[in-house]
Amino acid sequence: MITIQNKKLKASFNELGAELVSLINLETGKEIIWEGNPDFWGGKSPVLFPTVGALKDDSYIFEDKTYEMPRHGFARRKFFEVKNSSENEVVFELHSDDETLKFYPFDFSLEIKYTLIENKLTVFYNVKNTSEKELYFSLGAHPGFAIDTKNGLNYNDYEIAFSDDEKLEIHPLIDNLISNETQTINLENKTLPLSYELFSKDALVMTNMKSKELILKNNQNNHKVIFTFSNFPYFGIWSAKNADFVCLEPWQGIADFENHNQDFTQKFGILKLERNEDWKANWAVEIE
């Protein structure tokens, strides 16, 4: 377990998946990240790479060959190298290897940097194409934030405020794939009240959300998590059934649409990098 901290926050990470597993507000002792109870969902903040969501038939086609790929890709199941670390920063790196090339025929490097400044944790991603050919990939974040239901608080005391959306256009999930149909959720004052029922049909998947800042807050106290992100065009919000957490998920890429032809180069949201080209994105969480 790798730990970084400053006077306000302490963050811990697992080399397996370079996963953020704990973020503690040192001023209050409060844990911000979901506990990872496997009875509901054993994850905490997995990295989704080189795919986001499920593939149709758990497979894709590239250059007339079919490859199998698990939901959300393989990075969360790989050990990352700690490239360097300091008191308030750590950098993880993952490279293609003989194992990954069997089901993902591309050479790549994926660097993830976590930095603490004051009361903010920022996560930076850098994907580089180290192949001689074009690299196709998606990447997404999946942090789960704990919802406090103790001391007289309830799940529905929480809400998410959006910086720039009056309504949300949702793509329903059907057997983990994206429906071509959409549903609209109207917001009150740009705010979405949380409830267990909200996620009864799985995640809320959005491909045209305008907001780049979301605030998860409790309307009974001053607890607030400010979530910002850059260079992620798609977004998911999710929780397991009756579980006391909510995931705020910025994505570059989404699950396959129901009618997708499984051609990896034509997958919705897929990115293409030329030789030696790289791609950067980030998200941050500020604790108040």
The Cα 174–Cα 48 span in angstroms is 20
- In the chain, % helix, strand, coil (3-state, to 5) comes to 10, 50, 45
Number of compact structural domains in the chain: 1
How far is C-alpha 245 from the geometric centre of its chain's CA atoms? Answer: 14
Here the CATH number for the domain that contains residue 160 is 2.70.98.10
pTM for this predicted structure: 0.95
**Pick from 70, 25, 16, 69: nearest CA to 45:** 16
Residue 21 has pLDDT above 90, yes or no: yes
Burial of 93 (0-12, 13-18, 19+ CB in 10 A): middle
Q: Mind listing the pLDDT tens digit for each residue in 66-87?
A: 999 999 999 999 999 999 999 9
Q: Mind listing the pLDDT tens digit for each residue in 165-213?
A: 999 999 999 999 999 899 999 999 999 999 999 999 899 999 999 999 9
State phi, psi for 260 to the nearest 5 degrees: -65, 145
Amino acid in position 242: N
DSSP 138-174: -EEE--EEE----TT--GGGEEEEESS-SEEEEB-EE
Q: Mind listing the pLDDT tens digit for each residue in 239-264?
A: 999 999 999 999 999 999 999 999 99
**Range of the structural domain that residue 223 is part of:** 2-287
